[in-house]
Amino acid sequence: MKQLFGIVTAEIPAALREDEIETLTLNDLTVLYRETDISDYRLLDQTGLFQCIAEHQEIVEQVAQEMALLPIQFGALLEDEQQIVSMLRQHSDRFHALFDEMAQVVQMELSVLWDAAEVNAEITSELGLAAGSNTAEDAQEEGGLLSGGEDLYNQLRLGQRQKGVEQMVQQQMDEVAQSIMRSTQDEDAQTAVRMWVLIGRDAQDQFTQAAEALQQELGSQYKVRWQGPQRPHHFIRLTVKTLKPLLIEHARELLGVGLTSNLTEIKDAYYNHPHHIKPDRNSDLDSIVKMTELAQSYKLLKELGESQEGEICYLDEEAVKQTVVVGIKRM
């Protein structure tokens, strides 16, 4: 099997080839992949799965530091090189459009630091004040909280403070950012939050102004730091999969379409099917089950058709095997 990592338009760093990373190029698009004996990641134990995820992310980060990359979400496996070629051919226009889009934006890393010891001391003090305000009747119950639940209380309050800081970042960056996401990479006790902020290439001055305004709003107890610009590889993921011919055959028979069709015919077959209903409170269970199966079948055929070249949808077994479905997840 071929484990996919991403798509680039340039030569990959030599260091990656030492990690047994292989490439396959069609025109100006290159897929990064590695041979693997794994056929289904769901069969791995937890330790093995986490190790594979970590290795995948490490390679993605390494490539993204060197060049523009369309990252492929962990878990994408294709059987052979022909499927990779099919993917590049079938989705070439989409991939080029994404690279053009990424060329217009950059990502900034913004961190808000705090003195963890000072914050924990404040939270502990708050707990003490809360305990002191209780009535005598509640003293025994509160004593149990203080002796057995202080760590849990501290964690909850710490999480609340982090959430508050994150919301302040969101508010300050709202006008300049195209997208914001929380990063969990390399978090430590001195970091309240670390965020990735996606901005236009011409918006870096506005980002700096927003970061400085955030520092003023947070006060001297916090330190706002930022790095960038960087390539925007955290804000998009490609999902890659193939569909099972037996499922497509069942869906085709259910909708009553031939081995060659088009998206309009498939759509008409779906909406004109006798099982097609708009479920309401008066719908019986059998009708809802049939409609659900019909909708899932239509979705499969639509995915397949949209992933093939041209207007004709080929639904035979060989065509299904060579069709790679690609989705775009924006973070």
Q: pLDDT at position 234, please?
A: 85
| Whether residue 70 has pLDDT greater than 70 | yes
Residue 229 is encoded by which pair of tokens?
């610009």
pLDDT at 170 over 50: yes
Determine the pLDDT at residue 75: 94
> Is the whole-model pTM more than 0.85?
no
Q: With beta carbons less than 8 A apart as the criterion, state whether 257 and 301 touch.
A: yes
Place of tokens 């997208």: 179
Q: Report percent pLDDT > 70 for the chain.
A: 89
DSSP per residue, 43-58: GS-HHHHHHHHHHHHH
The 10s digit of each residue's pLDDT in 174-188 is 999 999 998 866 567
pLDDT of 220: 87
- φ and ψ at 123, to 5 degrees? -65, -40
Using CA atoms, how far apart are residues 16 and 32, in angstroms rounded to an integer? Answer: 10
**Cα 174 from Cα 186, distance rounded (Å):** 25
Structure confidence at residue 261 (pLDDT):
95
- For the ranges 13-27, 206-220, 276-290, the lowest mean pLDDT is seen at 13-27
Q: Is the pLDDT of residue 269 over 60?
A: yes
Mean pLDDT for the stretch of residues 45-64: 93
pLDDT at 145: 47
Average pLDDT over residues 288-297: 96
| pLDDT (average), residues 79-84 | 95
- Residue 59 structure tokens: 């390679």
What mean pLDDT comes out for the span 232-255? 95
- What does the pLDDT read at residue 133? 47
Whether omega for the bond prior to residue 71 falls within 30 degrees of 0, making it cis, is no
Q: Which of 8-12, 71-75, 249-253, 294-298 has the lowest mean pLDDT?
A: 8-12
279: left (phi over 0), alpha (psi -120 to 50) or beta: beta
Question: According to the model, what pLDDT value does residue 188 have?
Answer: 73
Say yes or no to pLDDT of 131 above 90. no
Domains in the chain, CATH or no CATH each: 2-103 (no CATH), 106-230 (3.30.70.260), 243-321 (1.10.287)
pLDDT in the model for residue 156? 80
